[in-house]
Amino acid sequence: MAVKGQTKESIFVAIRTRVEGVWEEEKTRALQEVCKIGRFRLSDVVHVTEGEAAET
């Protein structure tokens, strides 16, 4: 689960909800969360300004 921007309580609620969920839905949600974590990590590494983006 991507926890950036979440509170301790929202994390616990999400975990409780997801544990009781349908396997296929959880698998889809897990893949979405992996993508979200990847976007967070990339945005921390890549700092492109608007001017630089226009040049590339």
Backbone phi, psi, residue 5, to 5°: 85, 0
Q: Which amino acid is at 23?
A: W
Report the predicted TM-score, pTM, of the whole model to 2 decimal places: 0.64
Tell me the pLDDT band of 56, cut-offs 50, 70 and 90: very low
Nearest to 11 by CA among 47, 56, 19: 19
Q: Are 36 and 3 in contact (CB under 8 A)?
A: no
Nearest to 29 by CA among 40, 19, 39: 19
CA angle 41, 46, 48 (to 5 degrees): 140
Residue-wise pLDDT for 11-53, tens only, equals: 999 899 888 889 999 999 999 999 999 998 898 888 766 555 5
